[in-house]
Structure 1
Protein backbone atom coordinates (compact mmCIF):
# COMPACT_ATOMS: atom_id res chain seq x y z
CA UNK A 1 0.00 0.00 0.00
CA UNK A 2 1.02 3.64 -0.28
CA UNK A 3 0.44 6.40 2.23
CA UNK A 4 1.22 9.03 -0.36
CA UNK A 5 -1.37 10.67 -2.60
CA UNK A 6 0.98 13.02 -4.44
CA UNK A 7 -1.56 15.80 -3.87
CA UNK A 8 -0.46 18.56 -1.50
CA UNK A 9 -2.59 21.00 0.46
CA UNK A 10 -3.02 24.53 -0.87
CA UNK A 11 -0.59 27.34 -0.17
CA UNK A 12 -0.96 31.10 -0.52
CA UNK A 13 1.19 33.57 -2.41
CA UNK A 14 2.52 34.81 0.95
CA UNK A 15 3.48 31.28 1.97
CA UNK A 16 5.35 30.73 -1.27
CA UNK A 17 7.53 33.73 -0.42
CA UNK A 18 8.71 32.30 2.91
CA UNK A 19 12.29 30.95 3.09
CA UNK A 20 11.18 27.45 4.17
CA UNK A 21 8.71 27.03 1.29
CA UNK A 22 11.20 24.79 -0.62
CA UNK A 23 10.67 22.18 2.12
CA UNK A 24 6.99 22.09 1.16
CA UNK A 25 7.93 21.54 -2.48
CA UNK A 26 10.36 18.76 -1.66
CA UNK A 27 9.34 15.13 -2.09
CA UNK A 28 8.30 13.70 1.26
CA UNK A 29 10.60 11.22 2.97
CA UNK A 30 9.18 7.71 2.57
CA UNK A 31 8.28 5.41 5.43
CA UNK A 32 10.56 2.33 5.56
CA UNK A 33 8.89 -0.77 4.04
CA UNK A 34 9.11 -2.79 7.25
CA UNK A 35 7.14 -0.14 9.12
CA UNK A 36 4.71 0.37 6.27
CA UNK A 37 3.90 -3.35 6.38
CA UNK A 38 2.63 -2.95 9.94
CA UNK A 39 -0.29 -0.84 8.71
CA UNK A 40 -1.92 -3.97 7.31
CA UNK A 41 -2.08 -5.93 10.58
CA UNK A 42 -3.04 -4.68 14.05
CA UNK A 43 -0.71 -5.60 16.88
CA UNK A 44 -1.52 -8.70 18.93
CA UNK A 45 0.13 -6.99 21.91
CA UNK A 46 -1.46 -3.86 23.43
CA UNK A 47 0.31 -0.66 24.39
CA UNK A 48 1.22 0.04 28.02
CA UNK A 49 -1.99 0.83 29.99
CA UNK A 50 -2.53 4.54 30.55
CA UNK A 51 -2.41 4.03 34.32
CA UNK A 52 1.16 2.70 33.98
CA UNK A 53 2.34 5.40 31.56
CA UNK A 54 5.35 6.34 33.72
CA UNK A 55 6.87 3.02 32.66
CA UNK A 56 6.87 4.35 29.10
CA UNK A 57 9.02 7.28 30.21
CA UNK A 58 11.27 4.94 32.19
CA UNK A 59 11.70 2.58 29.23
CA UNK A 60 10.43 -0.41 31.23
CA UNK A 61 7.45 -1.19 28.98
CA UNK A 62 9.25 -3.43 26.49
CA UNK A 63 6.77 -6.30 26.88
CA UNK A 64 4.10 -4.03 25.40
CA UNK A 65 3.68 -2.84 21.80
CA UNK A 66 6.42 -0.44 20.67
CA UNK A 67 5.38 0.13 17.06
CA UNK A 68 1.85 -0.65 15.93
CA UNK A 69 -1.82 -0.12 16.66
CA UNK A 70 -4.94 -1.93 17.78
CA UNK A 71 -7.88 -2.05 20.18
CA UNK A 72 -7.32 -3.09 23.80
CA UNK A 73 -9.55 -5.45 25.76
CA UNK A 74 -11.37 -2.53 27.39
CA UNK A 75 -12.34 -1.08 24.00
CA UNK A 76 -9.82 1.77 23.95
CA UNK A 77 -7.65 2.15 20.89
CA UNK A 78 -3.90 2.48 20.93
CA UNK A 79 -1.15 3.66 18.61
CA UNK A 80 2.58 3.53 19.26
CA UNK A 81 5.59 4.39 17.15
CA UNK A 82 9.34 4.85 17.36
CA UNK A 83 11.31 6.93 14.88
CA UNK A 84 15.08 7.17 14.77
CA UNK A 85 15.96 10.75 13.77
CA UNK A 86 19.64 11.06 12.79
CA UNK A 87 21.06 14.55 13.05
CA UNK A 88 18.20 15.71 15.29
CA UNK A 89 18.82 16.88 18.87
CA UNK A 90 16.49 17.09 21.83
CA UNK A 91 16.75 20.88 21.71
CA UNK A 92 15.45 20.86 18.14
CA UNK A 93 12.42 18.85 19.16
CA UNK A 94 11.71 21.05 22.21
CA UNK A 95 11.68 23.98 19.80
CA UNK A 96 9.64 22.35 17.04
CA UNK A 97 6.38 21.79 18.91
CA UNK A 98 5.83 25.43 19.93
CA UNK A 99 7.38 26.90 16.76
CA UNK A 100 5.02 25.21 14.32
CA UNK A 101 1.96 26.44 16.27
CA UNK A 102 2.55 30.15 15.68
CA UNK A 103 3.35 32.28 12.64
CA UNK A 104 2.50 31.07 9.17
CA UNK A 105 0.37 27.97 8.55
CA UNK A 106 3.22 26.88 6.29
CA UNK A 107 5.14 25.82 9.41
CA UNK A 108 2.63 23.02 9.94
CA UNK A 109 2.30 22.26 6.24
CA UNK A 110 6.00 21.50 5.72
CA UNK A 111 5.71 18.77 8.36
CA UNK A 112 3.30 16.79 6.16
CA UNK A 113 2.47 18.68 2.96
CA UNK A 114 -0.23 16.20 1.93
CA UNK A 115 -2.21 16.13 5.18
CA UNK A 116 -1.51 19.21 7.33
CA UNK A 117 -3.51 22.40 6.86
CA UNK A 118 -2.84 24.49 9.97
CA UNK A 119 -1.99 24.35 13.68
CA UNK A 120 -2.66 27.48 15.71
CA UNK A 121 -1.84 28.08 19.36
CA UNK A 122 -4.46 29.86 21.45
CA UNK A 123 -1.76 31.66 23.48
CA UNK A 124 0.59 32.86 20.75
CA UNK A 125 1.95 35.71 22.86
CA UNK A 126 2.99 33.21 25.55
CA UNK A 127 4.55 30.86 23.00
CA UNK A 128 6.55 33.70 21.46
CA UNK A 129 7.61 35.27 24.77
CA UNK A 130 11.41 34.91 25.02
CA UNK A 131 11.15 34.78 28.82
CA UNK A 132 9.25 31.47 28.68
CA UNK A 133 11.70 28.53 28.55
CA UNK A 134 11.33 26.64 25.29
CA UNK A 135 10.49 23.39 27.10
CA UNK A 136 7.49 25.11 28.70
CA UNK A 137 6.07 26.76 25.59
CA UNK A 138 3.42 24.04 25.11
CA UNK A 139 2.36 23.89 28.78
CA UNK A 140 -1.27 24.94 29.14
CA UNK A 141 -1.47 25.88 25.46
CA UNK A 142 -4.24 24.62 23.18
CA UNK A 143 -3.54 23.93 19.51
CA UNK A 144 -6.41 24.18 17.04
CA UNK A 145 -5.57 21.97 14.10
CA UNK A 146 -6.89 20.89 10.73
CA UNK A 147 -5.37 17.73 9.27
CA UNK A 148 -6.31 14.63 7.32
CA UNK A 149 -5.67 11.25 8.94
CA UNK A 150 -7.40 9.27 6.24
CA UNK A 151 -11.00 10.43 6.05
CA UNK A 152 -10.58 13.93 4.71
CA UNK A 153 -9.71 17.17 6.54
CA UNK A 154 -11.02 17.33 10.11
CA UNK A 155 -10.63 19.67 13.07
CA UNK A 156 -8.72 18.68 16.19
CA UNK A 157 -8.35 20.48 19.49
CA UNK A 158 -5.15 19.48 21.32
CA UNK A 159 -4.90 20.54 24.95
CA UNK A 160 -1.19 20.45 25.81
CA UNK A 161 -0.28 19.97 29.46
CA UNK A 162 2.64 20.26 31.81
CA UNK A 163 3.77 16.62 32.32
CA UNK A 164 2.65 16.47 35.97
CA UNK A 165 -0.81 17.74 34.96
CA UNK A 166 -1.01 14.84 32.51
CA UNK A 167 -0.21 12.48 35.39
CA UNK A 168 3.49 11.92 34.73
CA UNK A 169 6.27 11.69 37.31
CA UNK A 170 8.44 14.64 36.32
CA UNK A 171 11.51 13.19 38.07
CA UNK A 172 12.03 11.02 34.97
CA UNK A 173 12.52 14.07 32.73
CA UNK A 174 16.11 14.64 31.71
CA UNK A 175 16.97 10.96 32.10
CA UNK A 176 18.62 8.60 29.62
CA UNK A 177 15.21 7.21 28.60
CA UNK A 178 13.33 10.54 28.50
CA UNK A 179 15.31 13.67 27.76
CA UNK A 180 12.11 15.62 27.17
CA UNK A 181 8.49 15.21 26.12
CA UNK A 182 5.20 16.80 25.14
CA UNK A 183 1.77 15.55 26.16
CA UNK A 184 -1.77 16.52 25.27
CA UNK A 185 -5.38 15.45 25.30
CA UNK A 186 -7.17 15.61 21.99
CA UNK A 187 -10.81 16.63 21.86
CA UNK A 188 -12.43 15.88 18.53
CA UNK A 189 -14.23 13.13 16.65
CA UNK A 190 -12.48 10.61 18.90
CA UNK A 191 -10.87 11.83 22.12
CA UNK A 192 -7.38 10.60 22.92
CA UNK A 193 -4.45 11.12 25.26
CA UNK A 194 -1.12 11.56 23.49
CA UNK A 195 2.50 11.79 24.47
CA UNK A 196 5.78 11.97 22.59
CA UNK A 197 9.14 11.54 24.32
CA UNK A 198 12.68 11.66 22.96
CA UNK A 199 16.20 10.95 24.10
CA UNK A 200 19.71 10.75 22.58
CA UNK A 201 20.19 7.68 20.40
CA UNK A 202 23.06 6.81 18.04
CA UNK A 203 23.69 9.92 15.88
CA UNK A 204 20.48 11.69 16.81
CA UNK A 205 17.43 10.96 18.92
CA UNK A 206 14.87 8.21 19.29
CA UNK A 207 11.39 9.71 19.15
CA UNK A 208 8.67 7.55 20.72
CA UNK A 209 4.91 8.14 20.62
CA UNK A 210 1.96 6.70 22.52
CA UNK A 211 -1.74 7.37 21.94
CA UNK A 212 -4.54 6.09 24.15
CA UNK A 213 -7.73 6.56 22.11
CA UNK A 214 -10.93 6.91 24.10
CA UNK A 215 -9.42 8.97 26.92
CA UNK A 216 -10.52 12.53 27.64
CA UNK A 217 -10.11 15.35 30.14
CA UNK A 218 -12.81 15.32 32.84
CA UNK A 219 -12.63 17.74 35.78
CA UNK A 220 -8.91 18.14 35.26
CA UNK A 221 -8.21 14.40 35.13
CA UNK A 222 -7.38 12.25 32.12
CA UNK A 223 -9.83 9.34 32.25
CA UNK A 224 -11.33 6.67 30.02
CA UNK A 225 -14.31 8.32 28.34
CA UNK A 226 -15.75 5.35 26.44
CA UNK A 227 -19.04 3.93 27.74
CA UNK A 228 -18.84 0.32 28.91
CA UNK A 229 -19.24 -2.14 26.05
CA UNK A 230 -18.19 0.38 23.41
CA UNK A 231 -14.97 -0.06 21.41
CA UNK A 232 -12.97 2.33 19.30
CA UNK A 233 -13.26 1.25 15.63
CA UNK A 234 -10.07 -0.47 14.51
CA UNK A 235 -9.93 1.78 11.44
CA UNK A 236 -9.55 4.83 13.70
CA UNK A 237 -6.39 3.38 15.25
CA UNK A 238 -5.13 2.21 11.85
CA UNK A 239 -5.59 5.66 10.31
CA UNK A 240 -3.81 7.39 13.17
CA UNK A 241 -0.91 4.94 13.00
CA UNK A 242 -0.53 5.41 9.24
CA UNK A 243 -0.58 9.18 9.66
CA UNK A 244 1.90 9.08 12.53
CA UNK A 245 4.54 7.04 10.74
CA UNK A 246 4.17 9.27 7.67
CA UNK A 247 4.45 12.64 9.40
CA UNK A 248 7.32 11.75 11.74
CA UNK A 249 9.36 10.12 8.98
CA UNK A 250 9.16 13.42 7.12
CA UNK A 251 9.84 15.54 10.19
CA UNK A 252 13.04 13.57 10.84
CA UNK A 253 14.20 14.49 7.34
CA UNK A 254 13.51 18.24 7.51
CA UNK A 255 13.98 19.26 11.16
CA UNK A 256 17.76 19.89 11.24
CA UNK A 257 17.43 22.23 8.26
CA UNK A 258 14.34 24.01 9.60
CA UNK A 259 15.92 24.50 13.01
CA UNK A 260 19.25 25.80 11.70
CA UNK A 261 17.53 28.52 9.69
CA UNK A 262 14.74 29.48 12.12
CA UNK A 263 15.80 28.65 15.70
CA UNK A 264 15.87 32.33 16.69
CA UNK A 265 12.67 33.19 14.85
CA UNK A 266 9.47 32.68 16.78
Structure 2
Protein backbone atom coordinates (compact mmCIF):
# COMPACT_ATOMS: atom_id res chain seq x y z
CA UNK A 1 0.00 0.00 0.00
CA UNK A 2 1.28 3.48 -0.81
CA UNK A 3 2.45 5.14 2.41
CA UNK A 4 0.87 8.45 1.47
CA UNK A 5 -2.50 6.85 0.91
CA UNK A 6 -2.20 4.70 4.03
CA UNK A 7 -1.92 7.94 5.99
CA UNK A 8 -5.06 9.23 4.29
CA UNK A 9 -7.02 6.06 5.00
CA UNK A 10 -6.07 6.14 8.70
CA UNK A 11 -6.87 9.82 9.16
CA UNK A 12 -10.33 11.11 9.91
CA UNK A 13 -11.30 12.96 6.77
CA UNK A 14 -13.47 15.96 6.26
CA UNK A 15 -15.94 16.08 3.38
CA UNK A 16 -16.15 18.97 0.95
CA UNK A 17 -18.63 18.80 -1.93
CA UNK A 18 -18.81 15.03 -1.57
CA UNK A 19 -15.02 14.65 -1.65
CA UNK A 20 -13.19 13.25 1.38
CA UNK A 21 -10.02 15.22 1.93
CA UNK A 22 -6.97 14.48 3.99
CA UNK A 23 -6.41 17.62 6.10
CA UNK A 24 -2.67 17.06 5.86
CA UNK A 25 -1.00 19.75 3.78
CA UNK A 26 1.51 18.74 1.15
CA UNK A 27 4.88 20.41 1.38
CA UNK A 28 5.82 22.86 -1.37
CA UNK A 29 7.57 21.35 -4.34
CA UNK A 30 11.32 21.46 -4.33
CA UNK A 31 12.80 24.15 -6.50
CA UNK A 32 12.48 23.00 -10.09
CA UNK A 33 12.22 24.84 -13.34
CA UNK A 34 8.69 23.56 -13.77
CA UNK A 35 9.23 23.16 -17.49
CA UNK A 36 10.57 26.69 -17.94
CA UNK A 37 14.17 25.68 -18.59
CA UNK A 38 15.43 26.06 -22.14
CA UNK A 39 17.84 23.16 -22.64
CA UNK A 40 20.78 23.09 -25.01
CA UNK A 41 20.32 20.54 -27.77
CA UNK A 42 23.23 18.40 -28.89
CA UNK A 43 24.51 17.92 -32.45
CA UNK A 44 23.60 21.43 -33.63
CA UNK A 45 20.13 20.69 -35.01
CA UNK A 46 17.05 22.03 -33.25
CA UNK A 47 14.43 20.43 -35.50
CA UNK A 48 12.50 17.53 -33.99
CA UNK A 49 10.84 15.21 -36.50
CA UNK A 50 9.22 11.80 -36.70
CA UNK A 51 11.63 8.96 -37.30
CA UNK A 52 9.20 7.03 -39.49
CA UNK A 53 6.38 8.02 -41.88
CA UNK A 54 2.77 7.78 -40.75
CA UNK A 55 1.63 4.16 -40.76
CA UNK A 56 -2.11 3.52 -40.66
CA UNK A 57 -1.80 -0.23 -41.25
CA UNK A 58 -2.71 -1.67 -37.86
CA UNK A 59 -1.77 -5.18 -38.99
CA UNK A 60 1.87 -4.10 -39.03
CA UNK A 61 1.87 -2.92 -35.41
CA UNK A 62 3.43 -5.24 -32.84
CA UNK A 63 4.10 -5.50 -29.14
CA UNK A 64 7.61 -5.73 -27.78
CA UNK A 65 11.02 -4.98 -29.21
CA UNK A 66 12.53 -6.43 -32.36
CA UNK A 67 16.06 -6.26 -33.74
CA UNK A 68 15.71 -2.73 -35.10
CA UNK A 69 14.32 -1.54 -31.78
CA UNK A 70 17.21 -3.01 -29.82
CA UNK A 71 19.57 -1.05 -32.11
CA UNK A 72 18.35 2.25 -30.63
CA UNK A 73 20.77 4.07 -28.29
CA UNK A 74 18.24 4.00 -25.45
CA UNK A 75 17.34 0.30 -25.80
CA UNK A 76 19.06 -0.55 -22.51
CA UNK A 77 16.03 1.02 -20.81
CA UNK A 78 13.71 -1.55 -22.36
CA UNK A 79 12.29 -3.82 -19.66
CA UNK A 80 9.38 -6.14 -20.55
CA UNK A 81 8.57 -6.89 -16.90
CA UNK A 82 6.09 -4.54 -15.22
CA UNK A 83 5.32 -4.14 -11.52
CA UNK A 84 2.12 -5.57 -10.01
CA UNK A 85 -0.83 -3.31 -9.35
CA UNK A 86 -1.03 -1.64 -5.95
CA UNK A 87 -3.44 -2.90 -3.31
CA UNK A 88 -5.22 0.45 -3.43
CA UNK A 89 -5.97 0.21 -7.13
CA UNK A 90 -7.16 -3.37 -6.81
CA UNK A 91 -9.42 -2.36 -3.93
CA UNK A 92 -10.66 0.70 -5.82
CA UNK A 93 -11.53 -1.34 -8.88
CA UNK A 94 -13.35 -3.90 -6.75
CA UNK A 95 -15.54 -1.08 -5.44
CA UNK A 96 -16.05 0.58 -8.83
CA UNK A 97 -18.07 2.06 -10.29
CA UNK A 98 -18.40 4.24 -7.21
CA UNK A 99 -21.15 6.80 -6.62
CA UNK A 100 -21.68 9.19 -9.51
CA UNK A 101 -21.71 12.05 -6.97
CA UNK A 102 -17.92 11.68 -6.80
CA UNK A 103 -17.57 12.55 -10.48
CA UNK A 104 -16.54 15.97 -11.75
CA UNK A 105 -15.77 17.18 -15.25
CA UNK A 106 -12.40 18.04 -16.75
CA UNK A 107 -13.48 21.67 -16.65
CA UNK A 108 -13.84 21.44 -12.86
CA UNK A 109 -10.50 19.74 -12.33
CA UNK A 110 -8.64 22.99 -11.66
CA UNK A 111 -10.59 23.13 -8.39
CA UNK A 112 -10.55 19.49 -7.35
CA UNK A 113 -6.98 18.60 -8.35
CA UNK A 114 -5.45 21.57 -6.54
CA UNK A 115 -7.01 20.80 -3.15
CA UNK A 116 -4.63 19.53 -0.46
CA UNK A 117 -4.58 15.86 0.39
CA UNK A 118 -6.61 13.33 -1.54
CA UNK A 119 -10.09 13.02 -3.00
CA UNK A 120 -12.44 10.16 -2.23
CA UNK A 121 -11.73 8.68 -5.65
CA UNK A 122 -8.01 8.31 -6.34
CA UNK A 123 -8.11 4.72 -7.62
CA UNK A 124 -11.02 3.36 -9.65
CA UNK A 125 -13.77 4.89 -11.73
CA UNK A 126 -17.26 6.29 -11.73
CA UNK A 127 -19.86 7.05 -14.39
CA UNK A 128 -21.69 10.37 -14.28
CA UNK A 129 -25.33 11.04 -15.14
CA UNK A 130 -24.40 11.71 -18.78
CA UNK A 131 -22.62 8.38 -19.14
CA UNK A 132 -19.12 9.86 -19.04
CA UNK A 133 -16.60 7.54 -17.42
CA UNK A 134 -14.18 9.26 -15.02
CA UNK A 135 -11.10 7.18 -14.26
CA UNK A 136 -8.58 7.79 -11.46
CA UNK A 137 -5.22 6.15 -10.78
CA UNK A 138 -2.54 7.03 -8.25
CA UNK A 139 1.01 5.92 -9.04
CA UNK A 140 4.28 6.24 -7.17
CA UNK A 141 7.00 7.96 -9.21
CA UNK A 142 9.30 9.03 -6.36
CA UNK A 143 12.22 10.39 -8.40
CA UNK A 144 10.35 11.77 -11.44
CA UNK A 145 10.48 15.57 -11.51
CA UNK A 146 8.05 17.79 -13.33
CA UNK A 147 10.77 18.72 -15.80
CA UNK A 148 11.53 15.08 -16.60
CA UNK A 149 7.84 14.32 -17.09
CA UNK A 150 7.34 17.30 -19.40
CA UNK A 151 10.46 16.33 -21.35
CA UNK A 152 9.16 12.80 -21.81
CA UNK A 153 5.99 13.91 -23.58
CA UNK A 154 7.94 15.82 -26.20
CA UNK A 155 10.70 13.27 -26.64
CA UNK A 156 8.87 9.94 -26.87
CA UNK A 157 6.18 10.92 -29.36
CA UNK A 158 8.33 10.88 -32.52
CA UNK A 159 9.43 7.24 -32.44
CA UNK A 160 7.49 4.07 -31.70
CA UNK A 161 10.43 2.35 -29.99
CA UNK A 162 10.56 5.21 -27.49
CA UNK A 163 6.85 4.96 -26.82
CA UNK A 164 7.12 1.22 -26.20
CA UNK A 165 9.52 1.78 -23.31
CA UNK A 166 6.60 3.28 -21.38
CA UNK A 167 4.27 0.27 -21.37
CA UNK A 168 5.97 -2.81 -22.83
CA UNK A 169 2.84 -4.96 -22.53
CA UNK A 170 0.47 -2.55 -24.29
CA UNK A 171 2.11 0.05 -26.55
CA UNK A 172 2.40 -0.62 -30.28
CA UNK A 173 2.73 2.60 -32.27
CA UNK A 174 3.35 6.35 -31.98
CA UNK A 175 3.48 9.29 -34.39
CA UNK A 176 3.38 13.06 -33.86
CA UNK A 177 1.61 15.86 -35.69
CA UNK A 178 3.10 18.23 -36.75
CA UNK A 179 5.73 16.12 -38.47
CA UNK A 180 8.53 18.57 -37.69
CA UNK A 181 8.95 21.16 -34.94
CA UNK A 182 11.76 23.59 -34.21
CA UNK A 183 12.73 23.21 -30.57
CA UNK A 184 15.11 26.17 -30.53
CA UNK A 185 14.58 28.23 -27.36
CA UNK A 186 11.64 26.10 -26.24
CA UNK A 187 10.91 24.73 -22.78
CA UNK A 188 10.16 21.07 -22.26
CA UNK A 189 6.47 21.87 -21.84
CA UNK A 190 6.32 24.06 -24.95
CA UNK A 191 7.59 21.12 -27.00
CA UNK A 192 4.37 19.15 -26.65
CA UNK A 193 1.67 21.78 -26.07
CA UNK A 194 -0.47 21.95 -29.22
CA UNK A 195 0.83 18.73 -30.72
CA UNK A 196 -1.37 15.71 -31.45
CA UNK A 197 -0.07 12.25 -30.67
CA UNK A 198 -1.34 9.35 -32.77
CA UNK A 199 -0.93 6.12 -30.84
CA UNK A 200 -2.07 2.52 -30.93
CA UNK A 201 -2.16 0.56 -27.71
CA UNK A 202 -3.93 -2.20 -25.87
CA UNK A 203 -6.29 -1.08 -23.12
CA UNK A 204 -7.35 -4.36 -21.59
CA UNK A 205 -7.90 -7.07 -24.17
CA UNK A 206 -8.45 -4.74 -27.11
CA UNK A 207 -6.10 -2.55 -29.13
CA UNK A 208 -7.24 0.74 -30.62
CA UNK A 209 -5.95 3.83 -32.35
CA UNK A 210 -6.15 6.95 -30.20
CA UNK A 211 -5.49 10.63 -30.79
CA UNK A 212 -4.35 12.86 -27.92
CA UNK A 213 -4.10 16.62 -28.44
CA UNK A 214 -2.09 18.29 -25.70
CA UNK A 215 -3.28 21.54 -24.14
CA UNK A 216 -1.93 24.31 -21.99
CA UNK A 217 -3.18 23.70 -18.44
CA UNK A 218 -4.29 27.33 -18.15
CA UNK A 219 -6.88 26.71 -20.87
CA UNK A 220 -8.62 24.38 -18.42
CA UNK A 221 -8.55 26.92 -15.61
CA UNK A 222 -5.36 26.02 -13.73
CA UNK A 223 -3.40 28.80 -12.05
CA UNK A 224 0.16 27.70 -12.75
CA UNK A 225 1.69 30.39 -10.54
CA UNK A 226 0.05 28.73 -7.51
CA UNK A 227 1.54 25.30 -8.19
CA UNK A 228 4.72 25.63 -6.10
CA UNK A 229 2.69 26.35 -2.97
CA UNK A 230 0.43 23.38 -3.80
CA UNK A 231 3.30 20.94 -4.26
CA UNK A 232 2.48 20.57 -7.97
CA UNK A 233 5.42 20.32 -10.37
CA UNK A 234 3.48 19.87 -13.60
CA UNK A 235 0.15 18.82 -15.07
CA UNK A 236 -0.03 17.27 -18.53
CA UNK A 237 -3.47 17.75 -20.08
CA UNK A 238 -5.01 16.78 -23.39
CA UNK A 239 -8.12 15.92 -25.37
CA UNK A 240 -8.74 12.27 -26.26
CA UNK A 241 -10.38 10.64 -29.27
CA UNK A 242 -10.73 6.85 -29.30
CA UNK A 243 -10.85 5.16 -32.70
CA UNK A 244 -8.75 6.49 -35.58
CA UNK A 245 -6.27 9.31 -36.01
CA UNK A 246 -7.50 12.91 -36.10
CA UNK A 247 -6.36 16.43 -35.30
CA UNK A 248 -9.85 17.97 -35.22
CA UNK A 249 -12.54 15.47 -34.19
CA UNK A 250 -12.52 15.98 -30.42
CA UNK A 251 -15.48 16.49 -28.12
CA UNK A 252 -15.48 18.89 -25.18
CA UNK A 253 -15.84 16.08 -22.65
CA UNK A 254 -13.05 13.53 -23.16
CA UNK A 255 -9.74 14.56 -21.58
CA UNK A 256 -6.76 13.24 -19.69
CA UNK A 257 -4.71 14.89 -16.94
CA UNK A 258 -1.54 13.69 -15.23
CA UNK A 259 -0.30 15.60 -12.19
CA UNK A 260 3.18 15.27 -10.69
CA UNK A 261 2.86 16.24 -7.03
CA UNK A 262 5.44 16.31 -4.27
CA UNK A 263 4.69 14.48 -1.02
CA UNK A 264 5.77 15.56 2.47
CA UNK A 265 8.58 12.99 2.39
CA UNK A 266 10.08 14.69 -0.68
CA UNK A 267 9.09 11.90 -3.06
CA UNK A 268 6.61 12.36 -5.89
CA UNK A 269 3.31 10.82 -6.85
CA UNK A 270 1.40 10.86 -10.12
CA UNK A 271 -2.34 11.53 -9.95
CA UNK A 272 -4.04 10.62 -13.23
CA UNK A 273 -7.57 11.36 -14.41
CA UNK A 274 -9.41 10.43 -17.60
CA UNK A 275 -12.84 11.50 -18.77
CA UNK A 276 -14.25 9.44 -21.64
CA UNK A 277 -17.65 10.38 -23.05
CA UNK A 278 -20.19 7.66 -23.68
CA UNK A 279 -20.16 8.58 -27.38
CA UNK A 280 -16.35 8.20 -27.34
CA UNK A 281 -16.49 4.51 -26.37
CA UNK A 282 -16.78 5.26 -22.66
CA UNK A 283 -17.98 2.08 -20.92
CA UNK A 284 -17.71 0.46 -17.50
CA UNK A 285 -15.21 -2.04 -18.91
CA UNK A 286 -13.09 0.77 -20.31
CA UNK A 287 -13.09 2.43 -16.89
CA UNK A 288 -11.60 -0.71 -15.34
CA UNK A 289 -9.12 -1.37 -18.12
CA UNK A 290 -7.92 2.22 -18.40
CA UNK A 291 -7.21 2.45 -14.66
CA UNK A 292 -5.13 -0.74 -14.86
CA UNK A 293 -3.33 0.42 -18.00
CA UNK A 294 -2.54 3.80 -16.50
CA UNK A 295 -1.03 2.57 -13.25
CA UNK A 296 1.06 -0.04 -15.05
CA UNK A 297 2.58 2.47 -17.44
CA UNK A 298 3.10 5.30 -14.97
CA UNK A 299 4.76 3.07 -12.40
CA UNK A 300 6.91 1.53 -15.13
CA UNK A 301 7.87 4.96 -16.46
CA UNK A 302 8.95 5.96 -12.98
CA UNK A 303 11.40 3.05 -12.87
CA UNK A 304 13.58 4.33 -15.71
CA UNK A 305 12.67 7.94 -16.58
CA UNK A 306 15.07 9.65 -14.13
CA UNK A 307 18.07 7.90 -15.69
CA UNK A 308 16.77 8.21 -19.27
CA UNK A 309 16.17 11.91 -18.75
CA UNK A 310 19.67 12.53 -17.47
CA UNK A 311 21.19 10.73 -20.45
CA UNK A 312 18.95 11.98 -23.29
CA UNK A 313 17.43 15.29 -22.15
CA UNK A 314 19.53 17.27 -24.64
CA UNK A 315 18.64 15.12 -27.65
CA UNK A 316 15.89 15.48 -30.23
Q: TM-score, structure 2 length as denominator?
A: 0.69
Secondary structure of 1:69 counterpart: strand
Residue number in structure 2 paired with 1:4: none
Secondary structure of 2:311 counterpart: helix
Residue number in structure 2 paired with 1:80: 136
| Deviation readout 1:109-136 (Å, 9 max, x if unpaired) | 011111001222212532x613211121
Residue number in structure 2 paired with 1:113: 168
How far off its partner does 1:62 sit? 4.1
1:123 paired with 2:167, answer no
RMSD over aligned Cα, in angstroms? 2.6
1:256 paired with 2:312, answer no
236, 260, 263: which one aligns with 1:198: 260
Contact 2:146/2:260 (<8 A) preserved: yes
Residue number in structure 2 paired with 1:5: none
| Deviation readout 1:68-118 (Å, 9 max, x if unpaired) | 11212332111012222122222211111111112x311110111110012
278, 287, 290: which one aligns with 1:240: 290
Contact 1:121/1:143 (<8 A) preserved: yes
Secondary structure of 2:83 counterpart: coil
CA–CA separation in structure 2 for the residues paired with 1:52 and 1:165: 12
Contact 1:69/1:237 (<8 A) preserved: yes
1:180 paired with 2:234, answer yes
Summarize the alignment of residues 205-220 of structure 1 with structure 2, pairs less than 5 Å apart: 205-214=268-277
1:54 paired with 2:115, answer no
CA–CA separation in structure 2 for the residues paired with 1:256 and 1:52: 31
Higher deviation after alignment, 85-94 or 110-119 = 85-94
Contact 1:88/1:255 (<8 A) preserved: yes
List gaps (5 residues or longer) in structure 1.
Answer: 1-7, 215-224
Q: 1:208 to 1:259 in 2, by over 3 A?
A: same
Higher deviation after alignment, 114-123 or 45-54 = 45-54
Residue number in structure 2 paired with 1:220: none
* Runs of 4+ off more than 6 Å: none
CA–CA separation in structure 2 for the residues paired with 1:23 and 1:169: 35
Higher deviation after alignment, 58-67 or 256-265 = 58-67
Q: 1:63 to 1:112 in 2, by over 3 A?
A: closer
CA–CA separation in structure 1 for the residues paired with 2:231 and 2:260: 8
Q: 1:241 to 1:111 in 2, by over 3 A?
A: same
Residue number in structure 1 paired with 2:220: 166
How far off its partner does 1:26 sit? 4.6
CA–CA separation in structure 2 for the residues paired with 1:57 and 1:137: 24
How far off its partner does 1:171 sit? 4.0
CA–CA separation in structure 2 for the residues paired with 1:163 and 1:63: 20
Residue number in structure 2 paired with 1:23: 77
Q: TM-score, structure 1 length as denominator?
A: 0.81
Contact 1:79/1:210 (<8 A) preserved: yes
Contact 1:58/1:177 (<8 A) preserved: no
Secondary structure of 2:104 counterpart: coil
Q: Which has the higher Rg, Structure 1 or Structure 2?
A: 2
1:89 paired with 2:151, answer no
Secondary structure of 1:81 counterpart: strand
